[in-house]
Structure 1
C-alpha cells in the first residue's frame, strides 16, 4: 500500500494531523489479519498487491462499506427504506471517514433504454438547449415554423405579395361552428360581415394521369428550387350574404369570412394590420373549442398564405406541437417513436432464422416453421400452392427465382405465405407456447419510422443551427466539443441558455479528459466494456463537483 502509514496493531493513531487522515485499526474483514492503517485525505492512495492479498477487502468491503453506512445512518428513516445499505465491516474502529462512493470496473446495465447520453445526463441538458434554441421546420416544405401576430403577419404579406391585390379571410371549418345551418349566415350579417369566400375544389392528385404528374413534378423542381414558395390554388368565389339564392342553401362546406379586399402595398400597411387583427378575432369567435386564432391571405391570382398564432406552416398549415424538453426524450411518451416505443428497433421475423439453410429445398424442410408437427396442414397447403404455381419443391431455396421466393414469403391471393402464417400466430399471442414459438424466429431490426433515433418525427424537425438532436447524438464526443466550441450565440440566447451551455461543455470536457472521447451519445450503455463504463461514472462524479467525498476506484 503506497502513500500510507502502518500504525501499531490494536490502537488508534494519535497525531496532530489526525483530522487529515482516515484512521483504521483492528481490521479483520475477510482475510485481513487485524491490521491498522492511516490513509491521508485530499490525496490519491493506491492499494496494490498480489491477488488474494485483501486489496478489495480493505478498499470496498471496509472503507467504502463503512463510509456509505455512516452516511445512510444520518438520513431519515423514510429515506433509508429506499437505499441498500452495505453490511458493517469487521473492524474495531474507523475515525474521520467521509461519505464514500465506489466506482467498480463492471458494467451492470442491462436495459436497452440507457445510452451514453442518458447515463452522463448530457442528453438532459441538450434537451433543454433544444427547447430554448431549437427551430421547428415543416416536414414537407422545409420552411421555418413561426408563431404569427398581426405585425409579423403584415410583414410576410408585404414581403410575398407586394403590389398584388387579394383578400384577407377568416377560416370557418366544417366542424365546431358556433351555429349550424342558415343561422350562421344570419349571425354573420348581424355582426356586420357582408361576404364569404367559397374556395374552388382543387384537383385531386390521384385523378391526374401519370404523364401529368411527371410534368408537374418537373415544373415544380425547375420553378420552385430547393425552398418552395407559397402554394398556388384555384381562385374561389366571393358571395354576397344578402344574395337570395344563398339564403336557400345551408352552409355545410368549408368557407371563409371576407374581412377585406385590398392592394398589398406599403401605404396600406395599417389597413392590413387592422384586417389581420379582425380575421384572428373572427376565427376564434365563430369556431367553438378553438383556442388558436388563424387568418388566410389569398391573392386574385391564387397565391395563398396561411397565418396562425401557433407553430404552423404558412404553405400547408401543418401544425407543430409546443416545443418542450419532453419532445426530445425517448423515455417519455411525448417524445418516443410510436412504432418502436423509444427502443430504436422492433422485433420482426428474421428470414435467416426461418430459413437457416437456404441450400435445402422446400420439400426437404427449408422453411422450418412448416416442419413442426403442429403445422402438417400448413405444409400440405404450401406444397399444393407450389404445385399450382409451378414452383419446383425439390429445387434449393437459394436457386428459386426472386419472384417465386416472394410469392412464398409474402403470399398471394391463393396462399397466405410465410408472413401470413406469422401474422395469424400474432393473434394467438395470449398463449404462452405461441409467444415462445414466435420468439424463435424474431430478431431486432432498425425501426423504419425513426431510423433508429428512437424519437418521433416531430423531434427530428426541430433544428439547432441546421442539426437535429439526433444528429448531435450521432457525433463522437470530440466532434461534439468542436461543434459547441464554434457555436455562436446571440445576446438573448446567451442570457437564456448560458448555464445549460456551460454544463454541456464541461460534461463533454470531462468525458474527453477521462479517455472516452470516441464514444457517441446514442451508444447503448450495455454495449460498453467495464472500463468504459467506469470512466463514464468517473466523469459523472467530476461533473457533479462534490467535495469532501471519498472515491474508491477499482483498478
Structure 2
C-alpha cells in the first residue's frame, strides 16, 4: 500500500501495519504487509529497504521483547533505541537472519552451529562399538560374575597369579609406590614381566620405562575356590582401576579382564563413552597435542633462515640478527668451533648434522669461555636448539614483533597425532558401520544423508530402539540443510570459511528445524552466493516456512524470489536522499503492471543489454595448470587477457578454490611477495603479460561510527591536506591533523568529534542530543573558521558525493577518487555518512571504488568475488559500465558470479562443476556465453540459454 493505511481501513484481515516510518532516509512512509505470507521488499541499493525491514520493523520487535524483561535484567542488556516510527501494529515475535559470518572461533564448525554434530556425539556414545587403537580388536567388557565364569573356564585346574596393573609403560623409580603396597601387606609385584619380592627401599631405573602389576593372590583354580576368586578379583579391580590380569604360571601367558571397555590382548581400557568423549571442545575428547584444533603452530625454518648464503655472524638466523656479544652467540660459536667451523661460515656450507644440532639441539656437552665479572671461565653446557629458544621467546612476547604485528615465523600445520581429526585416539576408535565420528564429519552433507539412510539396516534390534529418535532428528536437520542448497558442505567445515550467504542459509535451515509458528522472519538477501539451480530450492524452503504458520519478509533483488512472493514492496524511486518512498506494491502480477524501475526490470520492459560483439582479448593468455586444492581435480584453465571473464558454477563447485585460493595467491606472491600460500597447482604460464593484481572480496567494510566513505577511501586525508595548504591554516600554523575529528586539536572536545552527546538513561535507551558547543559540526570554532571556497571542513563532510564532484572539480587528486565513488552509483551518499548506516551493497561498492581508484597499468588483473551482492538491476548496469571501462583500457576483469545479468555480458566464461563438493572441481566448459549455452551438462548453460533467448 502506498497510501497511509490504518487499522480501520486495512485491506487484509491479518496485516502488519507500519505508520509514519522515518528511520534514516524513510520519508514518513506507511505500509501494510499481509501476515502469514512471503513478502519481498525490493528497490535500488540504498533506497531504504533495510531501513524499513531491519531498522524499523525488526528493531521495534527487539525493543518490545527487551521491554518484557525486568528493569534489573535490562541493565545487563544492550539498550535498544526506539525506531523513529509513529506506530506499528500486528507485529509478531521477530527473528532476523542476516548476512553475517556465524562465528570466527576456530572451534566453530558447520556441525556445531547446526547442532547436528551434537546428535552424532550422542549417537556414537550410545551405539558406537569400541576398538583397540593398539591391536584393532573389538573391545570387551564383563560383569564380575562373567569374569569369574571366564577365569574358571579358561584356567581350570591351572596355577595362576591374580595381578592388578598399576603402571604401564612409564618412566620412574617408583620407590614410594612399592613401599605403599608393601605396607598394605602385598609381598610380590610383577615388574617388566618378572615376579619380584617387594623389599624395603626397592626402586627402579628412573630413566627407563616400566610395567608393574601387584600380585593380589596366588592359587589353583577349582570350583571350590569361587568365593576366594571373587574376593580377590574385587580387590584387584579396586587397585587396577577395573582391570585385572590372570597369569598362567606354567606358560607365563597373561590374559586381561575388565568391567570397562578393554582390549583382550593388551589390557588397554577405555572409559565408558559419553557425548563429551567425541567433543573436540572438551578435554575428555580433544586431541591433547592440538587441543582439538586439528592443527598446530610450527616454526617455519625457511622463515628462520631466509638467506642461507649468509653466515650466522652476518644475520643468517633472522630472529637473532647480526652478531652481538651475548650468551646465545657464545653458545653457537662453541658448537661450531667443536666441529671445525666458525660464525663466519655461510650457513648453507655447514653439513646437515651440524645444522641439526644448531636447530634442534643436542645432549652433547660443549665447552666455551666467557668472562662474567671480569673472570674468564670455562663453562660446559648442552644446547636445546635454536627452534626451542625461538619458540620460548615468541611465547613470552605473545607472538608479536616489535611493530606489534603478528610474527611470521610460524606456519599452521596438520596435527601429527590426530592427523587433523581433532579428537584423541580413544575417541577415534568408536565406530558405526566401520566409520568413526571424524570420518563421517568429512562427508559432504549429501553423502552423510545417504549414509544415515542405510545405517538402520545394520543395527541390532536393541541398537535400533536406542538410536531411533536420534537418527530421526539428524535426518530431519540434514534435510533442511539440503533444502537450502548446502549439500556440498561438510560437518567439519570451519564456520570461519563460510560466506555470508552460506552462514545465512545455515541459520535459515536451523530456524526451519525449530518448527516455530506465528513468528515473523526477516531475511537479508538469502540468495547471495546461490546458483540459479539452488535458488529454486531456497524459495521452496521459504514457502515451507511460511506454510507452517509464519510470516516472511525478504529484502531481495533476485527476480525469481520476487516472482515467487505473495506480496512485493518497492522502495525508491532513487537511493539515499532520493529514496525512502513506497513506489510500487502488490502481488507480483499487480506489481509488474506498475511503472517503478524494479517493476520494469521484472516485467522485461527494461533490461541489461547483451553486447553485440564479444571481445577476443589482446591475444595473450594466463594459463593455470594442474590446480588440485580442495575439490579441484587437476584443473587447467586459460584466461584470455584483456577480457571480461566470468567464473561460474553451482555453489561449492570449486570457484573460490580455483580463483581466490589458487590463482590470486599465486599472483600476490609473484607481484608482492605475499606470505599466503596458494593451493596446490602444477604451473602458471603468462605472468610476464601481467604486472599488477587487485582483488575486491566480500570482507566487510570497517563498521565503526567514525568510519565513513571518505576515510575508507583515503579521500579525507587529501581533503585535510588541502585545508592545511590554505592561507588561513598557514597563518595559524594548522596542520592536516587539525581537521580530523578523531584526534585532539581541531575537534570539539565536548563531544570528542562525534557531533552528538550521549545521555545515559539507565534502564531506558541512551538518548543522543546535538552537541551544544559545536552544534553537531564536530569541530571547534577556530577550525571551522578556515574555509575553502566558502565552506568549512564540516560543510564539506555534509556534501553529497555528487555535489562534492563539482565542488572539487579543479582538485585532480580528490576529484578522481570522488568520481570513482560516483561512477559506482554512490553519488547520493554524504562524504561524512557513518559506515554503520550504509547497506551491505553500499559498503561493498565503497570498497570497490577504493580499489578502482588505484592506478591501473593497462595490464592489471582485477579479481572480484560476487560484486553484485546487494545490488539492484539498475546498480548492476552502472557497475558493469565501470568494469567494462577497465577492460577497454586493456585490463582483465575476472569475476566470480552467479548473477545471469553479469554472466550474459561477459566476453568469456569458465564454468566449474558439474556439481558441488567432491562431484565438482572440474571444468565443464570454457568459452563465450553463446557457447556455454549449448553445453547440455552445464547448469549455468541451461539457465543462460533462457536468459539470452529472453533478452533478444
Could you say which TM-score interval applies, normalised by the shorter chain? 0.7 to 0.9
The verdict on how the C-alpha distance between 1:173 and 1:109 changes in structure 2, with shifts beyond 3 A counting, is closer
Aligned to 1:345: 295
Aligned to 1:215: none
- Is 1:389 matched with 2:357? no
**1:276 Cα deviation from its structure 2 partner:** 6.2
In 2, are the aligned partners of 1:29 and 1:90 still within 8 Å (CA)? yes
Cα shift readout 1:107-163 (whole Å, capped 9, x = no counterpart): 15222111111111111111111111122222212222222125644675699x59x
Residue aligning to 2:12: 17
Q: Which moved more, 1:324-333 or 1:164-173?
A: 164-173
Which residue among 310, 314, 318 is the counterpart of 1:368?
A: 318
Pair 1:171 & 2:163 matched? yes
Check the 8 A contact 2:5/2:32 in 1, yes or no. no
Greater per-residue strand proportion: 2
Corresponding residue for residue 444 of structure 1: 412
2:430 is the alignment partner of 1:462 = yes
Structure 1 position 97 matched with structure 2 position 67: no
Alpha-carbon distance in structure 1 between the residues aligned to 2:469 and 2:179 = 47
> Deviations along 1:45-78, whole A, 9 cap, x unmatched?
1111111110110111112111222233334455
TM-aligned CA deviation for residue 535 of structure 1: 1.5
CA contact 1:165–1:300 (8 Å) conserved in 2: no
Given the alignment, which residue of 255, 259, 278 partners 1:309?
259
Once residues 361 and 26 of structure 1 are traced to their aligned partners in structure 2, the CA distance between those partners, rounded to angstroms, is 76
Please name the residue that 1:548 is paired with. Answer: 518
1:47 aligns with 2:7: no
Residue 351 of structure 1: how far off its partner (Å):
1.5
Contact 1:507 1:539 in 2 (8 A): yes
1:217-236 matches, cutoff 5 A: none
- Describe the SS at the equivalent of 2:163: strand
Q: Paired residue for 2:502?
A: 532
Going from structure 1 to structure 2, the CA distance change for 1:287 and 1:333 (only over 3 Å counts) comes to closer
Q: Distance in 2 between matches of 1:182 and 1:529?
A: 64
| Pick aligned residue for 1:483 from 451, 464, 481 | 451
| Cα separation, 2, equivalents of 1:128 and 1:76 | 37
Identify which range, 542-551 or 291-300, moves more after superposition.
Answer: 291-300
Distance in 2, matches of 1:364 and 1:176, equals 57
C-alpha separation in 2, matches of 1:105 and 1:380: 57
Q: 3-state SS of the aligned residue for 1:472?
A: helix
1:512 to 482, 487, 495: 482
Higher deviation after alignment, 116-125 or 509-518? 509-518
Alignment gaps of 5+ in structure 1: 1-5, 186-197, 204-233, 238-245, 263-270
SS of the aligned residue for 1:519 comes to coil
Measured in 2, the distance between the counterparts of 1:292 and 1:330 equals 26
Find 1:322's aligned residue among 269, 272, 292. Answer: 272
- In structure 1, the partner of 2:28 is 34
Alpha-carbon shift at residue 177 of structure 1 (Å) = 11
CA distance in structure 2 between the partners assigned to 1:173 and 1:516 by the alignment: 51
1:547 and 1:281 map into 2 onto residues whose CA distance is: 61
Contact 2:313 2:322 survives alignment (8 Å)? no
Paired position in structure 2 for 1:222: none
Q: Shift of residue 370 of structure 1?
A: 2.2
> What's the counterpart of residue 221 of structure 2?
261
Aligned residue for 1:305, secondary structure, equals strand
**Residues 200 and 397 of structure 1: CA distance in aligned 2, closer, same or farther (over 3 Å):** closer
Does the 8 Å contact 2:445/2:482 carry over to 1?
Answer: yes
Q: Provide the rounded CA distance (Å) in 2 between the counterparts of 1:513 and 1:503.
A: 15
* TM-score (norm. length: structure 2): 0.46
Deviates more, 1:426-435 or 1:471-480: 426-435
In the TM superposition, 1:100-139 aligns within 5 A as 100-107=94-101, 109-139=103-133
How far apart, CA to CA, are the structure 1 residues paired with 2:20 and 2:339? 85
Q: Which residue of 1 aligns with 2:442?
A: 474
Q: CA separation in 1, counterparts of 2:490 and 2:336?
A: 49
Q: Matches of 1:451 and 1:183 in 2, distance apart?
A: 46
1:158-199 deviation per Cα after TM superposition (whole angstroms, max 9, x unaligned)? 99x59x7534654357869998569668xxxxxxxxxxxx78
Alpha-carbon separation, structure 2, partners of 1:438 and 1:12:
59
Distance 1:158 1:145 in 2: 21
* Matched residue SS, 1:45: strand
The answer to whether the Cα contact below 8 Å between 1:168 and 1:275 also exists between their aligned partners in 2 is: no
Cα distance in 2 for partners of 1:411, 1:179 equals: 41
C-alpha distance in structure 1 between counterparts of 2:186 and 2:320, whole Å:
65
Extract unaligned runs of 5+ from structure 2. 167-176, 203-212, 367-382, 526-952
- Range moving further from structure 2, 253-262 or 129-138: 253-262
**CA, structure 1 residues 539+290, in 2 after alignment: closer, same or farther (shift >3 Å)?**
same
1:462-498: CA deviations, max 9, x gaps?
2223222111112221221121111023221222222
Cα offsets for 1:378-434 (capped at 9, x unmatched): 446545644653458777656765444323322343465422432563685599989
Q: What's the secondary structure of 2:32's corresponding residue?
A: strand
Q: Could you say which structure has the greater relative contact order, defined with CA pairs below 8 angstroms and 6 or more residues apart? A: 1
RMSD, aligned CA: 4.0
Report the Cα distance in structure 1 between the residues aligned to 2:465 and 2:72, rounded to whole angstroms. 40
Residues in 1 aligned to 2:354 and 2:402: alpha-carbon distance in whole angstroms: 28
Report the TM-score when normalising by structure 1: 0.75
2:41 is the alignment partner of 1:61 = no
Distance 1:48 1:358 in 2: 61
SS in 1 for 2:451: helix
User: Mean Cα displacement is larger for which, 331-340 or 419-428?
Assistant: 419-428
